[in-house]
Amino acid sequence: MIIYIDKTEYIEKLENYHSPYIFFLRPRRFGKSLFTSILANYYDIKEEENFNKLFGETYIGKNPTKEKNSYYILKFNFTGLNTDTKEKLEETFISTIKESFDKFISDYKLNINYIQEGTAASIFESFLNKVNKKIDGDLYVIIDEYNHFANELLSFRTEMFSEIISKTGFVRKWYEVLKKGTESIVKRIFATGVSPITLDSFTSGFNIADNITRYEDFNEMIGFTEAEVRKLIQDTSHNDVTESELEELIDILKQNYNGYLFSEDSSTRLFNSGMILYYLKTYSVKKEGPKDFIDTNVASDYGKLGNLFDLKDNNRNMKVLDSILTGEETTAIITQQFSLEKDFNEDDFKSLLFYLGLLTIDRETLGAVILKVPNYAIKTLYFEYFNKKVSENYNLYVEAEKRMKNASTNDFISSDDVLQDLGIKKDELKDIEVDIE
């Protein structure tokens, strides 16, 4: 059985938006890849004969736009790159873009020979130049998970991250070629990802795109509304759900998967679509949910993010996590673009948690927003893990204080040696108060 939640009205909104170059961010498993597939099929010139089959019963099928089936689609997906070393990353980045080029050539039956060796930027430039001479039309470039590899680097290799997106970095240079392409053959760009950390680093090399992540008009473009979840339940259960069962199930799903709000100007909260589909897959068969409320794939995605809390100032980040865990209100001015090469302040860290889906907007207040944990699933799975990290961090400081106290009476051990041994900077202890009996 195929069930489809119609989000195609947003194709029209995107096409009518004043900028043709767009970045749109959402947490993992929200359905970004599926949406890029919808865009690709709608605008692809070679899918024109299949338009009614693909979109006939949807909003956009009944209200087609003037640009439907009018582009050659060049699509990239930057998941799964090897981040072990800079050389491995560049090698897999190049192989990934070449796979996209080769698929493009095959799909459109073109006779093109672009250069196979060189930098990612030079290969891309060669490809665009060759394509420009071969096709009578324009490119729609779609980039799925534009910064997936960068997020992994931020977890444990910030120096490598800075290298690849610096002015001479191969990723920055690649985006400079993409920008140059908009002067000729590239007419539209749609890119998805999770966080905007990388965006600021592209500013001088790729400063043409709009980040519409937090715009009210696009708040519900990806993710499920309550009305859409109700329709899913009824469709997957063949309407064999009583009114009381439906309301009970909605309450369970709200508690565990709802609560996401990406624009303070909107009032519609969203469910994580991946988590909803995971739950309903079991419910449609057994009429009860899965034993584990979180899909293991989702859990592993977020589990990789733990090292991000060491970014720039571990002590400050742990204090933020501690305040969240103890129920204090979290106020922040959400950062639109940020870079590790600039000051990464407390608002930046809170904003990172927001973009990752670990916090969401509760309400607006005096030019800022109050953030909160979106739902029970996030609270129990991830913040219990974070609580452990905070506790470990606290115990580390206790150990440091104890050893420093012993060191004060020991001619052979200095307090600086103790701190260095434990990997703690001296100034990180200035705000920590620990009583030792």
One digit per residue, the tens of pLDDT, for the chain of length 437 reads 567 899 999 999 999 999 999 999 999 889 999 999 999 999 999 999 999 999 999 999 999 999 999 999 999 999 889 988 889 999 999 999 999 999 999 999 999 999 999 999 999 999 999 999 999 999 999 999 988 777 677 666 777 877 887 778 899 899 999 999 999 999 999 999 988 877 766 655 677 889 999 999 999 999 999 999 999 998 887 668 889 999 999 999 999 898 899 999 999 999 999 889 989 888 888 888 888 777 666 665 555 556 677 777 878 888 888 888 788 899 999 988 776 666 788 998 899 899 989 899 999 998 899 999 999 888 877 666 666 666 666 555 555 555 545 554 444 344 444 445 444 444 444 443 333 23
Q: Which two tokens stand for residue 20?
A: 């043709």
32 by DSSP, 3-state: which? helix
Question: What is residue 336's predicted lDDT score, i.e. its pLDDT?
Answer: 84
The token pair at 73 is: 């689609």
Cα 237 to Cα 159, 221, 231, 253, 285: the distances in Å are 51, 25, 10, 15, 8
pLDDT score at 3: 73
Residues of the chain with CATH 3.40.50: 9-218
d(CA 162, CA 344): 14
Tokens at 97, concatenated? 């873009």
C-beta of residue 237 within 8 angstroms of C-beta of residue 282: no
User: How would you classify residue 239: left for phi > 0, otherwise alpha for psi between -120 and 50, otherwise beta?
Assistant: left
Provide the Cα torsion 90, 92, 97, 100; round to 10°.
180
Helical pair 86-107 and 158-165, crossing angle rounded to 10 deg: 50
pLDDT reported for residue 251: 93
3 state SS of 161: helix
- The CA R_g of the chain, rounded to the nearest whole Å, is 24
DSSP result, 249-316: HHHHHHHHH--B---TT----BB-HHHHHHHHHHHHHHSS--SSSS-HHHHHHHHTTGGGGGSS-HHH
Amino acid at 327: G
Phi/psi at 94 (nearest 5 deg)?
Answer: -65, -45
Q: What is the pLDDT of residue 54?
A: 95
Q: Name the strands in the sheet holding 210-211, side by side, starting at the edge strand that comes first in the sequence.
A: 71-77, 138-144, 186-193, 21-25, 210-211
Q: Are strands 330-332 and 368-372 parallel, antiparallel or unpaired?
A: antiparallel
Residue 336, classed as helix, strand or coil, is coil
CATH of 9-218, one of 1.10.3470, 3.40.50, 3.30.720, 1.20.120: 3.40.50
CB 230 within 8 A of CB 33: no
- Sign of the four-CA dihedral 213, 265, 359, 318: positive
What pLDDT, on the 0 to 100 scale, is given for residue 434? Answer: 34
Q: How many CB atoms lie within 10 A of CB 18?
A: 5
pTM of this structure: 0.86
Query: Quick one: pLDDT at residue 405?
Result: 55
